[in-house]
Amino acid sequence: MSPFPPAGGEAELEEGDVFTPRFDADGLIGCITLDAKDGTVLMFAHMNAEALRLTLDTGIAHYWSRSRQKLWRKGDTSGQQQKIVEIRTDCDQDVLLMKVVPGGDGGACHTGRRSCFYRTVRLGPGATKLGFEAPGA
């Protein structure tokens, strides 16, 4: 776990050049993963410190599977390995944003779709239905 606030306080956290990722109470940090090709949001997953370290060291995305409670190198089963192009963090360093080149069929979702975000939520009072994106989108 990273100390919080860091030695330099909030200014260091937001304006400093030292990477001090803030893991949550479960030792995890969220990660938004984009396709480097066009910026499409492919998925959102979590990393623990080991997954983050392996990602930084190898340039291949590693995550922590909360459902399986194990380290997970994306693509080992699906072929959808993710080569890292860029990693960013946000102002308070509690979430990551990665641009990747996805291998295999270029997708990321275990349902077979390219992106996990294939459903829209209808807006307006009382609207709680989901709409589906057209196949292939």
Picking from 61, 60, 27, 22, the residue whose alpha carbon sits closest to that of residue 44 is 61
Position among 30, 36, 49, 103 found at the interface with a copy of itself (CB under 8 A): 30
Residue 131 interacting with a copy of itself (CB under 8 A): yes
Find the binding residues for a copy of itself in span 73-102 (CB under 8 A). Answer: 84, 86-91, 95-97
Residue 87 and residue 21: Cα distance in Å, rounded?
Answer: 12
Residue 119 interacting with a copy of itself (CB under 8 A): yes
Residue 35: C-alpha distances to residues 85, 114, 126 (Å):
9, 10, 34
Residue 117 interacting with a copy of itself (CB under 8 A): yes
Residue 14 interacting with a copy of itself (CB under 8 A): yes
Residue 3 interacting with a copy of itself (CB under 8 A): no
Residue 104: C-alpha distances to residues 4, 126, 137 (Å):
39, 40, 17
Total number of residues that touch a copy of itself (CB under 8 A): 47
Query: Would you say 92 and 19 are in contact if contact means Cβ atoms under 8 Å apart?
Result: no
Position among 3, 68, 69, 125 found at the interface with a copy of itself (CB under 8 A): 125
100 Ramachandran zone, left/alpha/beta (phi>0; psi -120 to 50): beta
Cα R_g (the chain), whole angstroms = 17
Write the binding mask 43 to 72 for a copy of itself: x where contact by CB under 8 A, - elsewhere.
Answer: xx-----------xx-x-------------
Q: Which is nearer to a copy of itself, 57 or 69 (CB)?
A: 57
Query: Would you say 47 and 55 are in contact if contact means Cβ atoms under 8 Å apart?
Result: yes
Interacting residues with a copy of itself (CB under 8 A) = 14-19, 30, 32, 34, 39-41, 43-44, 56-57, 59, 84, 86-91, 95-97, 109-111, 113, 116-125, 127-132
